[in-house]
Structure 1
């Protein structure tokens, strides 16, 4: 495996996109990514079509350690599903999502890791341009409907959720926290694209993604983006500029904590973080009541309804790893961790630059600690999209990456 999955060393900047060389499989792949933002759920079909193209076009079918972990997790989830299924439509939706998402992940990885992804990286950049332009329009429509009363921020999570009128929803996600997480994950990849293509951090992209995160009124993307962008800039900057960065953080962090994160409200029962703390307290206080084999696929709601001080109806416990143990026990948690660690190892084989991968995985881990089940779309999409970034990145260290307001060389 290590001799085949290698980065595509090319002189930077990468050559301009040749539209005549674009393949149908690449277009379908980008359409599948964008389709996850549509209110009509057409993305499962596109995921399957893209997986089919990927499977046909890929050469060797690798069985890396992460594939074994993924297979065990999927099989055990399927067994658990049949044990607890009593006609619930939500369970059918959940297990279908798991199977489709993991098939898409496996087939896409094999395909992407064995091919030249330079044209695909351009197409992905265009796709993300469109995704975030429409997302900005969606957020402005939300704010306009409230006469921009919340444009300066909200006083609580409950008030922030008022922004999301389902009758106005046409792009992104209808849930505040899930949309915020998508902005953070896809947004960080959007920030990394010029780092890969031109060895340059484009500040306008960072500013634009933080603007979207702010307009979403979700604190989730702010925290994840601060972690990811902070690490990225720290590795890129020289020692003297790191001092300037630390001073700027010392000034800005208290303001962000007070005005954006609303740290004074974190433990309130109507605050999103306060809800998480109650759920996590219930998990650890009653961990002995959880079967070591798990309580069953998608059984987190019944556990929280029974043991939490209050329960607002969420389908998970707001922590990927806790959800894995609660629903699928030791086998589910261990196989998921093996899958994630093995996937990171395979990414490192593709490109051995440790700082790049640390920067990539930090935002994902940060969000997984406060959101998601183990098979959600955004986790799968993020892991898949890491591969073309890794294959196209050169071997030069981050110290050779420069910083600018924008990249004047961007052409399509």
Structure 2
């Protein structure tokens, strides 16, 4: 320990004790302040707070107990460690010293090595406490900064929700009216430009809607709106909603369900299924098949999310498309991730669909992953544990979630 910048205040009404202790501490490299009575000790501590105080108890006018009590009542001196050094050796004396805020107690006559060891021990503890306090302060500042960032992000989401979606919808409506020719016949080039504008406005609206969906899901909104749903019904609904898309792409949808019930928000699960199925259809070749299946694996076959004691329902979406590179199998579940940069333009995706899927499934205690090989297609898996209706993760929405929901 570096003692050169460490100051110790020694308080004792016996000049000889002050001299002996000062000599010992100076030889060890400590800076020493001396006070021959309680009043001088308080003045010295307030004028230049030391790193530690060695305090005698029996002194005239104001004893060591009272000195310690006053030190602990003042902000500038409250955290200074006080070691009592006294001839009083009764248990009651020691207990009183600790009750008043002392950190240690040394009985006179003292051993030099014991005094030094106890001083070093308390200074080490104080140093660690100071470091811990600095870390706590830094973490608190980071928490406040992140809190402010979250608030700003929520404000941005509100702007996106109210200030962008409405004008975009109006633009799209105007473009559709122009395309009908009601306000004048357009040449072929004019129709082409309007089609381009409609396509891009649709893409931007999907992006905004996906962003808002993701924020609502991650904030825990609608998790309390759960029902005991038959997952087979939700699978059929999702497949039916994409049947037209599949036929247009010349892709066959094959659905194999199980009459298994789970406490979920049905809209959430349908959103996951439609995201996965639409991706599978988009990246499948004409004439191929996309499979949607559900099963209850044997215990231990599939990880059970956050609780291995809960039985999982395993749902798969399989295609024979172009596949996913091995280095993308995890990253594709991040925000704005695309396997190929051109996908967002050619396939119309926002890059948020799989991030939404992961967020939803993890909220329900499950997990989602993909197995794939280039040219051999992909299989997306997700699990739904059999969570009870009062599962603790589905507590009332946080203040942030409530605030977002109100927007």
* TM bucket normalised to smaller: under 0.3
Greater relative CO (CA pairs within 8 A, separation 6+):
1
The structure with the largest strand share of the pair is: 2
